Amino acid sequence: MKPIVFTGAAVAIVTPMNEDGSINFDRLGELIDFNIENGTDAVVICGTTGESATMTDEEHIECIRYAVERTAKRVPVIAGTGSNHTEYAVNLSKKAEELGADALLCVTPYYNKTSQAGLVAHFKAIAGAVSLPIILYSVPSRTGVNITPETCLELSKVPNIVAVKEASGNISQIAKIAAMCGDELHIYSGNDDQIIPIMSLGGKGVISVLSNCCPKETHEICSLCLEGNFAEANRRFLSMLDLANALFCDVNPIPVKFALNRMGFDVGGCRMPLVEMSDKNKEYLSGVLAKHGLLK
């Protein structure tokens, strides 16, 4: 069986911004502490929710460095180091390893895309350059590239490719990956609204946007699944489903940053081209936050 990076709920943490658009590291530290103190099982830094696509190389490296230092081994730090340029992803992955990250999250190439054979070559190149465990990231709605079950099986033969973050939304595909790969490729849900079905197929947890706002609740839902208590997990999950859905009423991470600001965390806005939500969506999300007692 491949080593398990974490079980439960990992927060896909936002990157707080100052008014001038620079990164607010003090606020990032507060969010990391808030999550760990409330049960988060791992921290994913510089993922999609962290706006890695608009970071400079220096910012990306400093965010990883800061997360590693602030987390101080309390939970694993998973660094987003994927790119559509293989050499760039290799170099960033090597740097993350030097900085002390515990694992890497590597998204499929985007825009230029590639074939399934290209995916195998791309991920093998990254894996061969580092010793850290790697979590593949399949999110075709953003990248235009899907990792097929057959490709997952091939990549599962690489010793340090240990898991996949599955955000295809295709439960049938995820079931096939589970059947074909077994314990040689662990599965994490990449969608908060699919925690229960994916964990019922043997998934080890979720890489979660919802955890930014509700780390304790998301952790507990995953813990119940891991204990085999799916009835109680489902009851709690369904009580949170409206919030999980509301956090995607606009392009991620626009809604979750709005939510955190309404909760009093003052994480600032998003970098362009992401812009503020409509007043209608602000009202809608505020109403859901109020229902859950999260407004400050």
- Is 137 marked active-site? yes
pTM as predicted: 0.98
Angle at 136 between CA 130 and CA 140, to 5 degrees: 145
Checking if the pLDDT of 296 tops 90, the result is no
What would the mean pLDDT of 33-48 be, rounded to a whole number?
98
pLDDT digits (tens, 9 = 90+) for 194-241: 999 999 999 999 999 999 999 999 999 999 999 999 999 999 999 999
Q: Please say whether the beta carbons of 3 and 133 come within 8 A.
A: yes
User: Which residue of the set 2, 95, 165, 257 is catalytic?
Assistant: 165
pLDDT of residue 114: 98
How distant is the alpha carbon of residue 135 from its chain centre?
10
pLDDT of residue 123: 98
- Is 165 marked active-site? yes
Question: Distance (Å, rounded) from C-alpha 45 to C-alpha 52?
Answer: 9
pLDDT of residue 31: 98
pLDDT of residue 19: 95
Checking if the pLDDT of 6 tops 90, the result is yes
Please state, rounded to an integer, the average pLDDT across all residues of the chain: 98
For a pLDDT cut of 70, what percent of the chain falls above it?
100
Q: Please say whether the beta carbons of 157 and 135 come within 8 A.
A: no
User: Which residue of the set 2, 137, 188, 204 is catalytic?
Assistant: 137
Q: Provide the Cα torsion 125, 129, 131, 135; round to 10°.
A: -40
CATH superfamily label, 8-229 = Aldolase class I (3.20.20.70)
